[in-house]
């Protein structure tokens, strides 16, 4: 627990020192242990495929993508933005959850689902008006490595509410 608090303080200080309100590219430790994706987005879900669904986790029921990977919101994001708020360097670590259609299919989500123009001509999915992302260090379904990074990135529950718990 002490290590998480220390990391949160260090990450917050680094974000503040960068002078950039949205450059959350930290992988949770350092960039040397992360392989950046060659693309800036998650592969778009095919039309008709389930894009978001729910899964049980140690922190309760959460929202995951169609492959079972945890999805996150960036807490300072505005609701109903006009486009993607994560720049190229951010998207390397926080790939946007995207769709090939502006009407993504969901299963078990009790929240408003929408889209905004996403990277590379895709549609970035929104939950309750906030864009959703995956986290690069989450390697298999059930990973939750992005939870509370910098006290800015949070998983969401099936109602689209941020999950602030970390244990």
Q: For residue range 4-59, what is the model confidence (pLDDT) as tens digits?
A: 443 444 344 333 333 333 334 444 433 334 444 434 445 655 667 889 999 999 99
Q: Is the pLDDT of residue 126 over 80?
A: yes
pTM for the complete prediction? Answer: 0.72
Cα–Cα separations (whole angstroms), residue 135 to 32, 63, 140, 159: 16, 13, 11, 20
Give the rounded percent of residues in the chain with a pLDDT score beyond 90. Answer: 50
Q: Name all contacts of 112-117 with Cβ < 8 Å and 24+ positions apart.
A: 112/160, 113/52, 114/80, 116/80, 116/81, 116/82, 116/83, 116/84, 117/82, 117/83, 117/84
Q: How far apart are CA 166 and CA 98, in angstroms?
A: 26
Question: Is it the case that residue 1 has pLDDT exceeding 60?
Answer: no
Q: What is the pLDDT of residue 13?
A: 38
pLDDT at 71: 97
Read off the pLDDT of residues 71-84 as tens digits, 9 standing for 90 and up: 999 988 888 777 65
Q: What's the pLDDT tens digit per position in 3-19?
A: 444 344 434 433 333 33
> Using one digit for the tens of pLDDT, what is the confidence trace for 79-125?
877 765 677 888 899 999 999 888 999 999 999 999 988 777 789 99
Q: What is the pLDDT of residue 63?
A: 97
Question: What local confidence, expressed as pLDDT, does residue 121 receive?
Answer: 79
């Amino acid at each position: 627990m002490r290590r998480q608090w220390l990391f949160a303080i260090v990450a917050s200080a680094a974000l503040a020192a960068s002078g950039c309100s949205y450059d959350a590219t930290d992988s949770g430790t350092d960039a040397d242990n992360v392989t950046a994706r060659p693309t800036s987005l998650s592969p778009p879900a095919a039309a008709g495929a389930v894009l978001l669904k729910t899964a049980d986790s140690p922190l309760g029921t959460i929202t995951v993508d169609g492959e079972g990977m945890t999805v996150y919101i960036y807490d300072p994001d505005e609701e109903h933005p006009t486009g993607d708020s994560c720049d190229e360097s951010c998207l390397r670590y926080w790939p946007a959850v995207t769709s090939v259609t502006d009407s993504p299919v969901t299963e078990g989500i009790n929240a408003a689902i929408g889209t905004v123009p996403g990277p590379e001509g895709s549609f970035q999915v929104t939950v309750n008006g906030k864009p959703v992302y995956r986290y690069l260090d989450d390697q298999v379904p059930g990973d939750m490595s992005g939870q509370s990074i910098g006290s800015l990135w949070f998983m969401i529950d099936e109602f689209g509410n941020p999950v602030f718990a970390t244990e």
